[in-house]
Amino acid sequence: MSNQPPLPYGRHAIEQDDCDAVLEVLRGDWLTTGPIVGEFERALAKRCGAADAVSCINGTAALHLACLALGLDSDATAIVPAVTFLATANAPRMTGAEVVFADVDPESGLMEARHLEDAIARMLAAGRRPSVVLPVHLGGQCADLAAIAAVARRSGLAVIEDACHALGTVYRTSGGAPTAIGSCTHSDLTVFSFHPVKTITTGEGGAVTAREAALAQRLRQQRGHGMVRDGGAFEDHEAAFEGDLANPWYYEMPEIGFNYRISDINCALGLSQLRKLDRFAALRRALVERYDRRLAALAPLVRPVKRNADAIPVWHLYSVLIDFAAIGKTRGEVMRCLQDHRIGSQVHYIPVHRQPYYRRRYGALSLPGAEAYYARTLSLPLYIGMTAADVDRVVDRLADCIARPSAAGKAGRSLVTGAAG
């Protein structure tokens, strides 16, 4: 057992000014939605280059609001990459829409345009039309978004980016200008999460950035019970409500909505954290570069995920692909060995179509890219507060774990020296 400090696979970084910002709200007049929510939304929209941003209680609620704002219902079908967190598929399901899982690149875990085309073809063959696609920026990098948007446009699909991993990431179209993820240059809406394990945190929180102000209006309405308070700005109100418009207590519910509000407490933390995004991005990048350099010694048995040359990622995860068959160990054995050295690791993700709920609903699917990615992926520690020495410790212990004879009694190999283990 190691007596070195534990290295989790991810964690938040809270500094004194973050604490001060939250305390100031606690001492003020607003605890729930007050002026800081709007301030956070404006800062986020500005940072992403979006027309508007709407914040809410978590990233899952943000995905749900995005689906609602685009009018998804039980007649709709959403295309979702199989390698993602549950919420990307669950959010459209929460509107009643059906989900079709798309395959992903086995080396990057990203859904590319060809996978989207394949999913659309499968649907058309079954006599169904897709309504929306939700590309996921796995680990912080994105696929070729311009190509995905072109396929979506041709097939009449809306695009919601699940950018819960990718705040700060920049996408550069070949020949085009670089655009920030969240600007919605190649989508209708983009969703972020501020869960503590993500790049910046609000405690719990999420947001949707929008290209069009009208969509942001729908998001806000659905966030707050479906309620409208500003009757003057609301053109479709019922005749029965005409008389109430001028009253100070006026509120009207043209459609049912949710209570997905976030608080000023959360947004004060978010506003403070957002100011650190560039510093956090640089720190993550430096850690990733060191991992890449140090892990080269373990290639080809351990390799970083394939990089997309069009993406300038702010890395959320450091995921590697491990050839477990070649090293003669299971992923469970490697994870437990790392844990014995107090090093956390995680698997992102069990393909969603394998989950019992989706298997019951849609049957067993064959998505070979997703299966091949899942079979080899492991995420190593990456967070603010990690040092270069910590990266070295992870890589050295990973090399030991791979080389150590497995529980099955099979002799491992020493990967660093190349000698028999």
Closest CA to 86 of 198, 3, 162: 162
Stretch of residues binding ligand PLP (CB under 6 A), selected from 30-38, 80-88, 97-105, 357-365:
80-88
Q: Determine, following the binding rule CB under 6 A, whether residue 165 of this chain makes contact with ligand PLP.
A: yes
Tell whether residue 308 is a contact of ligand PLP (CB under 6 A): no
- 58 interacts with ligand PLP by CB under 6 A: yes
The correct pick among 7, 21, 76, 85 for binding ligand PLP (CB under 6 A) is: 85
Q: Is the Cβ of residue 155 or residue 273 nearer to ligand PLP in the bound state?
A: 273
Q: What count of Cα atoms within 13 Å lies in the side-chain half-sphere of residue 247?
A: 8
Near ligand PLP by CB under 6 A, which window of 8-16, 35-43, 83-91, 374-382?
A: 83-91
- For residue 266, what are the contacts with CB-CB under 8 A and spacing of at least 6? 194, 202, 203, 204, 205
Size of the site for ligand PLP (CB under 6 A): 14
Min dist CB 163 to ligand PLP, Å, is 8
Instruction: Indicate the residue among 80 and 302 with the shorter CB distance to ligand PLP.
Output: 80
Q: Which is nearer to ligand PLP, 11 or 195 (CB)?
A: 195
Of the candidates 214, 218, 159, which has an alpha carbon nearest to the alpha carbon of residue 191?
Answer: 159
88 part of the interface to ligand PLP, by CB under 6 A = yes
Of the two residues 56 and 228, which places its CB atom closer to ligand PLP in the complex?
56
Query: Which ranges of 53-108 does DSSP label H, i.e. alpha helix?
Result: 59-69, 86-94
Give the shortest CB-80-to-ligand PLP separation in angstroms.
Answer: 10
Helix (H) or strand (E) holding 36: helix 35-48
- Residue 65 or 395 with smaller CB distance to ligand PLP: 65
Task: Return the residue of 48, 69, 102, 136 that touches ligand PLP, per CB under 6 A.
Answer: 136
Question: Among 372, 381, 367, which Cα is nearest to 89's?
Answer: 367
Residues catalogued as catalytic: 198
- Return the bridge partners of 136, or none: 162
* Displacement of CA 421 from its chain's centroid (Å): 39
The least CB distance from residue 187 to ligand PLP, in Å, is: 15
Contact 82, 101 (CB under 8 A): yes
- Show contacts of 149-155: CB within 8 Å, 24+ apart: 149/186, 149/187, 150/113, 151/113, 151/116, 151/117, 151/120, 152/116, 155/120, 155/130
| Residues found near ligand PLP in the complex (CB under 6 A) | 58-60, 84-85, 87-88, 136, 162, 164-165, 193, 195, 206
